[in-house]
Structures are given as C-alpha cells and as structure tokens.
Chain A
Amino acid sequence: MRPIWLKLLMLITMVAALQAMVGLYYQRVWVSSEFRTIKYLRKLYGKKDGIFFFGDSVLRYTAPQDSDTSSIPEMLQQELSDPVHSLDGGAFQMDMYASLMQTLAARGTRPKAVLVPINLRSFSISWDCYPAWQFEKPKLLLHSERSFLVRTFAKPLLVFKAIHLTPISSKEYWETPVLIAGKDVGSMKFVHDTYLVSPDPAEKRAWFLKLYYLYKLDARHRKAAALQKLADLLRREKIPAHFYVVPLDMETGQAALKDEFTNQVRENIGVLRKVLAEQGHELHDFSALLPSSCFSYPANVPDEHLNQEGRRRMAAALAPLLKGGTVDGP
C-alpha cells in the first residue's frame, strides 16, 4: 500500500502531464481565434536581420481621400534595402511592444534595428486605462510562447483568477479621476459626459486635447516603466533601437490651448527622454514634425493619425535613422 502523499503526488503528476497537452491545444485555439499577430511573429523567430517596426493604428491608418494607401512601414521599405517587418496593432502600446520584443528575444531573434514609436496619447487615462486596450490575453499568449510553464498552466491560472484578463473594469475606468496638468477635473465619466460631448466644436476639441496630452507624466507611470523595460531589454540584447515620439498636431493644440499645450508636451517628452537616457538610448522627438494638413482624424477629434502626405513625410524622417544618416527633424 503506497502512502497517501505518494498517491497524491502521482495524481498531480498525471494531471500536470495531461495539462501540458491541453495547454498546447488551448494555445493553438487562442492563436487561431484571438491573436493573429502571433502567427506573423512566429515567422520572425530566429531571424538575424531586418528592421522591426512596432506601432499602433497610426502606422496603417489611411485617410478617405488618400490615393496611396501604403502604410508607414511600406513607405519606409521603399527607402531601405533591409526588410521592414511591421509588428503593429490597433491601440498597441509600450507594454505590448515590450512583450513582443521579449518573446522575439527569447526565440533567438536579433533584428538589425528596432523602431519604437512613442505615442504620447498612450500615457493618457483614456488610453492607458481603457479596459479593452489592456491586451492581457495577447500578453499572456506571448508569454506562453516563451515559457513552457505559462503555456501549460495559462488556462488554469485564468480559471483560478491568478491572472485577470480584464484588470480594469468599465466601472473602474469611468470612475478614474482625470488630472489635467496635475489638477483633478473629475472622473472620466464626468469629463466624458460634461466636456467631451459639448455641442461647441471648439470646446469639445480643446477638451479632447487636454484629455489626450495635458497629463503630467511621471517616470513611474506604468507605460513609462514598460518603456524602460523594453529599452533595458534592447540594450542587454545589443539590438540597435530607435525610439521616437510620434508627430502630434501641434498647430491645432497650440491654437486651442496656447502655450499650455506645447509646454506640457515638451515636459512629458523630457520625462521620456530621461527614462531612455538611463538605459543609454536616445529619443527622437518628431512631435512637431508635421503641419496640421498632414493629419486625418478618424474619430473627428485631434489625434495622431496621418494622411498620405503625413505618412510619406514620417517614413522620410525615419529612413535616415536606419541608414545612419542625419535625422530630418522639424
């Protein structure tokens, strides 16, 4: 008669062994149904060349009137001999980039260079805390790509709530206080219901700009921490990286909010520059690269989406970084 602890151990071992197979099955199901980027990512495992271009929807967005619908990476590709691999997705931000890069690095991928756009809006509450843009499942899936244990136990960990796919609930999001230049102006819901639906287009535009860019960035912000993690990883892996601030519609911002807008944007960029400098990286500031005419707003409020001309000029500004030439700044 075997002792009970031995029987329990045997039972646990059997469950764990079968769980490893179930884990593989789940990963396959998730990859096919939820996160197609990973299929593309897998093609890049082990590559020692090419330019990896992270990004959000700005990379691919096209304005309705555009005759050339090429994305920024495609336009950039025209100027470079190295293949440009775009690793982008709608609302992707720093912790997604960090997770993607960790997975690639763990799989022995060493690109020739990495382009990391920093969208200043991604640090704002409206993006950073937006429940649908937390990307917990893709991040978990990416983690499972580089860890056998995570792959095996991802589902049980989710089922037993050790990992939450929705770390921020809608209720929490709407209750989050909005700080404009350090001043509490009310909850997200209050700001939304009071200012963002204003019938006066100028007021509405001004409030969107405030919400998107007039936060006071702290180096301890979780997205800044993710930026630091990514920068650290790239430094350790000796992968050349180019971090840049994506262009903003500074003209509209300046017109709506005067110097307050420019000053706050500059201050926040300063914080990011410092974070990157600590990891030995430089930050290229393209925030004021483009005039208003280069932007196109899908939601009719000022953001960073570009039209054909904007994308072309953005690609042109990035090309010298990768060719090792001088930067075509503003």
Chain B
Amino acid sequence: MLFNSYEFVVFFPLVMLFFFNLPYGARPLFLLLASYIFYMWWRPEYIILLLFQTFIDYIAGIYIADSKSPSRRKLFLALSMTSNLSVLFFYKYFMFFNSTGKALFELLHLQYPVPYMEILLPVGISFYTFQSMSYTIDVYRGETKVERSFLIFSLFVTFFPQLVAGPIERSSNLLSQIYERQAFDTRRLVHGLRHILWGLFKKMVIADRLAVIVHSAYSDPHQHKGLPLLVATYCFAFQIYCDFSGYSDIATGTAQVMGYRLMCNFWKPYHAQSIGDFWRRWHISLSTWFRDYVYIPLGGNRVSRFRQHVNLFVTFLASGFWHGANWTFIVWGALHGLYMVCSLATQKWRDKLRARTGLERWPRFLALFRVFVTFHLVCLGWIFFRAQSLKDAWYITTHLFSSLDPSRLLNLGLTGCELGIAAGCIVILETVHLLEQKHPLKELLDSVPMWVRWPMYVGMSLAVLNLGTVTEIPFIYFQF
C-alpha cells in the first residue's frame, strides 16, 4: 500500500480508530495484523518471505542469547546472516549476477549454463532484512536484550509505517517502545499529522512534479544536451530528497500518531559542508547501519591510515550495492567512497590552504562555498544513481555544459507554469530548512497563532490534493 494512495487514506484512520479503542494488550497483535495487510496489499504471496525471515531471526536471537558456547553463538549468528543474505541475494542480485555471468561467458565464447530468470523484487526487502539482521547482531554483541515474544518481534520487523522504505530501526529504539502503553495524545496527533502533511507535500507536490523533468531527460539522455541535462540533474537531487525524506516524514508522522518515535532519517542534507557531513544527514538510518555493522567491524579508524581508507571505500561500495543490482549504483557508491577517501587524504592540505588564503576570516562565505561544492559533488553522484546505464551516465556527465540554450528546458515535459510551481516549492522547502536552523519547526509552528497555522494547513492540504501528479510515480526507494 502506498502512503499517497486513497487506500492508505482509508486504512490509516481505521487503524487509528481501532488502535486507540483496543485494550493495551491487544494492540500489538492488531498492529501486526494491520502491518501484514499493509504489506500484502502489494503482493500477498511475498508475506511468506517476511514471515520466514522474521521466524529465522527470532529463533536465532533466542539461541544466541541462550547459548553459553561462543562457537554456538557464532553458528546461530551465521545462520541468521546466511538466511537473510541468501534471500536478499536471490531476489535482489541473482538477475544481476546471472546477466553479468552470461555476458562474461559470451565474451569468452563459452556456453552459459544458467537459464534466464525474471524475479520480481519484493518491496522493502532490503529495509526489513537489514533491520532484522541488526537485531541478531545486537543480540550477539550483547547490545540489546533478546525478544522472547514472537508477536512483539514480528511487529518490530513488520511495523507498517517503516516496513517498506525505512527508517531502518534498531531494536534498541523500537522494540522497547512496543511495550510502552500508548495513550491517545492530542499534541502527538497534531505533530504526527503535520509530519504526514509535510511528507505528502514533499512527495506529491515537489518530488512527483520534478520526476516528470527527470524522467524526460534521463529516460533517453542522448536526445538532450547541456542545460536540460543540468537542470534535470539538479531536479533529481531535489526529487530524490523530497521523495525519500517525504516517505520518512509520513512514516514518522504515522508512527508518532500512535505514540512511536522513529529515528530521524534526514536532516537538511543539502546544507552539508562536506561529504562526511552529507552522510550524517542523508538516509541516516542506513549510513549508521553501515557504520555500525560494516565500517567499525572492518576496523573503522582504529587501524592504519591506508586500511581506514580501504574500510571507508569498501563500506561505501557496499552501500552502493545495497541500493541496487546495477553497475550504476556500484559506481555511485564507489564515487562516494572516493570522495570520502580524498577528503580524508587532503584534509591537512585543505586546512593549510584555508589558513593561507585567509578564508577563515569569512566563515559564512566559507560555509556557503563548502555547501556549494558538497552539493555539486553529490549531484555528480546522482547522475550515476539515476542513469539507466553507465553509458548514459557518462554521456550526461560529458554533456552537461555543451549547450546552455534555456528554450530547450520546455522540452522536458513541464509547462512554464509547472516549472514555476516546482521552483516555488523548492523555495518553500529551503525556507523551511533555513527556519529550522534556528528553531525546530515543531516549536516554531506551536508558537505561532492559529490564524497563521490554519491557513498553512489548509493551503498545504489543497496543494497536496490538487498539485500532485495524476500518473503513478512510486517512491524511488521502493525499488531497493
């Protein structure tokens, strides 16, 4: 079920109505059933995978916690990892490796023995697999208590607001909340609904509108050159941000109404002053996952400088691969790994340069300059992320400035008026971000009188109801 569908508009109030009218003890079971319905709306048969992974990790968690022998603990952790990663590999990466293997065999003029198979990727598999895996790893490390109730554990894995596109929650945050007795709270309801409205606005009004431009340029980039490709790349930067952070906002708001606090997944990522800073603000639940379960176990920064660079690069490569079975994602991950390595390697040199040029005397200018550079490095990465092939990505990268004729922009599928709405919405978005720099938006909104707040709610509701696109544009991160 999509958050921006009429089904969810009916589903969510119904869930709320029952949730707050049921006795506390019955709520987890009810939420679990609601979560299964939410997931099965897409393809009922794939619930089996979700149940399988839940069951394996539930059992593995108990055995890891109860085993005294370290080797047995390791064995059950390995069992959990293997089963999770096998399922993920088969559904997400089999086709990629199969086609790569076939191409390789053909290059060597050999007969390829594996038949072609088309496998439909279960929605949200990467998210719930990682969430479930983090639990068993945490139990193994002794960082979280084992969950002995299958019902509660299932709800932790399946909790519908964040099931299909995150945030990838940690057991230490979400599991304990499931035991809390959530009473109906008016303030929480208002804050949650605000979050949902803001998320819908970002997704439906901004992201889906920009998607038209991006799709037009990126589906056949060879038809364009120069300004359209440049603008489409900037548009994609905002599209993916609004799409994904919009989803996270709706998820957070939905959970908040019920009394659950999900982790913050985005924090003004395009205000980042370095690539490292960007990754502390972008898809935070995933980047911290990779930090805690890949980078640190590899040695993190407690190793030699060279090894640290390798660890960083490998972590980002893995992050790229997590996004999808395509060379474009791998190159995107590698590019960010390279940025990080270069950033670390040139740190001293850049510090010296700053001191010599006296840039430190203008901290605002310096901050702006760093934001500008970081944003453009990120945009370069987005080209590889969005392009359908490496060939397309290379073409776009090499043709960004080949023609700067603004009239070509009208060939991107949006009218001048639509382009104006898109630009206006980005201005609204960035204004909100700037306002958030001084005070959290929640506090800011609470402090303004009703006659300011209400027109804003009404205006945004009308924008969501009327400025959204008619064609179905699924959340980008659903494909992962």
Give the Cβ gap from B449 to chain A, nearest Cβ, in Å.
Answer: 14
**A277 part of interface (Cβ distance < 8 Å):** no
Q: Please, how many angstroms separate the alpha-carbon atoms of A18 and B460 in the complex?
A: 12
Bound: A18/B464 CA distance, A: 13
User: Which one of A4, A19, A22, A165 contacts B470 once the chains associate, using CB atoms below 8 Å?
Assistant: A165
B286 CB-CB contact with A under 8 Å: no
Say yes or no: is A157 at the interface (Cβ < 8 Å to chain B). Answer: yes
The listed residue (B5, B190, B462, B471) touching A166 by CB distance below 8 A is: B471
CA distance A164 to B461 in the complex (A): 21
The proximity string for B residues 81-108 relative to A, scoring 1 for CB distances below 8 Å and 0 otherwise, is 0000000000000000000000000000
A159 to B204, Cβ gap below 8 A?
Answer: yes
Q: Which residue of B lies closest to A137 (CB)?
A: B470
Kindly report which residue of chain B lies nearest to residue A4, judged by CB atoms.
Answer: B186
A162 within 8 A of partner (CB):
yes
**B454 and A11 within 8 A (CB):** yes
Q: How many residues in B have their beta carbons less than 8 Å from beta carbons of A?
A: 22
Docked CA distance A23–B2 (Å): 24
Contact with B along A152-175 (1 / 0, CB 8 A): 000111111110111000000000
Encode B465-479 as 1/0 by CB contact (under 8 A) with A.
110111110000000
User: Quick check: A160 and B462 within 8 Å, CB to CB?
Assistant: no
- Tell me which of A4, A19, A157, A161 contacts B472 (CB under 8 A): A161
A11 to B469, CA, bound (A): 24
Given contacts A4-B189, A166-B471, contact A161 B465 (CB under 8 A): no
* Residues of A22-78 contacting chain B, CB below 8 A: 22, 26
Q: What is the bound-complex CA distance between A19 and B186, given in angstroms?
A: 26
Report chain A residues within 8 Å CB of B470: 158-159, 165
Closest to A14 in B: B458
Chain A residues lying within 8 Å of B4, measured Cβ to Cβ, are 159-161
Instruction: Please tell me if the beta carbons of B457 and A11 are within 8 angstroms of each other in the complex.
Output: yes
A255 within 8 A of B: no
Q: Does A202 touch B at the CB level, under 8 Å? A: no
Tell whether, in the assembled complex, residue A15 and residue B461 are in contact, meaning their CB atoms are under 8 Å apart. yes
A15-B465, A22-B466 known; A157 vs B6 contact (CB < 8 Å): yes
> Could you say which residues of chain B place their CB within 8 Å of the CB of A156?
465-466
A158 to B464, CA, bound (A): 12
- Label chain A's interface by main secondary structure: helix
Q: Tell me how far the C-beta of B381 lies from the nearest C-beta in chain A, rounded to whole angstroms.
A: 31
Contact A159 B186 (CB under 8 A): no
Say if the beta carbon of B342 comes within 8 Å of chain A. no
B9 interface hit (Cβ, 8 Å): yes
Interface centre among A4, A158, A160 (most CB of B within 10 A): A160
Chain B nearest CB, measured from A167 CB (Å)? 12
Q: Could you tell me if B5 and A160 are in contact, using CB atoms closer than 8 angstroms?
A: yes
Residues of B within 8 A of A160 (CB): 4-6, 9, 468
Residues of B within 8 A of A155 (CB): 465-466
- Residues in A neighbouring B186, C-beta threshold 8 A: 4
B138 CB to closest chain A CB, in angstroms?
A: 38
Report A144-193 residues with CB < 8 Å from chain B CB. Answer: 155-162, 164-166
Q: Are B189 and A161 in contact (CB under 8 A)?
A: no
Question: Which chain B positions have C-beta within 8 A of A4?
Answer: 186, 189-190
Chain B residues with CB below 8 A from A18, complex form: 458, 462
Q: How far is the CA of A155 from the CA of B463 in the complex (A)?
A: 11
Per the 8 Å Cβ criterion, residues 1-49 of B in contact with A are 2, 4-6, 9
B462 engages A159 (CB within 8 Å):
no
In chain B, what residue has the closest Cβ to A158? Answer: B470
Please name all residues of chain A whose beta carbon is closer than 8 Å to the beta carbon of B471 when the two chains form the complex. Answer: 165-166
Which residue among A26, A155, A156, A166 has the maximum number of chain B CB atoms within 10 Å of its CB? A156
Within 8 A of A (CB), among B430-480: 454, 457-458, 461-462, 464-466, 468-472
How many Å lie between the Cα of A4 and that of B191 in the bound state? 12
B174-196 with Cβ < 8 A to chain A: 186, 189-190
Q: Chain A residues with Cβ under 8 A from B5's Cβ? A: 160-162
Q: Is the CB of B6 within 8 A of A162?
A: yes
Give the complex CA separation of A18 and B9 in angstroms. 19
Q: How far is the CA of A165 from the CA of B469 in the complex (A)?
A: 11
Which of B9, B462, B469 interacts with A15 by CB under 8 Å? B462
A323 CB to nearest B CB, Å: 46
| Chain B residue, CB-CB nearest to A162 | B6
Measured CB to CB, the nearest residue on chain A to B455 is: A14
Return chain A residues, CB-CB under 8 Å to B468. Answer: 159-160
Q: Which residues of B contact A26 (CB under 8 A)?
A: 466
The answer to whether A15 touches B466 (Cβ under 8 A) is no
B469 to chain A, nearest CB (A): 7
Residues on A with C-beta less than 8 A from B472 are 161, 164
**A160's closest neighbor in chain B, by CB?**
B6
* CB nearest to B190 among chain A residues: A4
Name B59-98 residues within 8 Å CB distance of A: none
CA distance A162 to B6 in the complex (A): 6
A sample of 7 more A-B contacts (CB under 8 A), given A11-B454, A162-B5, is: A11-B457, A18-B458, A26-B466, A155-B466, A156-B465, A159-B465, A159-B468
19 CB < 8 A contacts A-B: A4-B186, A4-B190, A11-B454, A11-B457, A11-B458, A11-B461, A14-B454, A15-B461, A15-B462, A19-B466, A155-B465, A156-B465, A157-B6, A159-B464, A160-B4, A160-B6, A160-B468, A161-B4, A161-B5
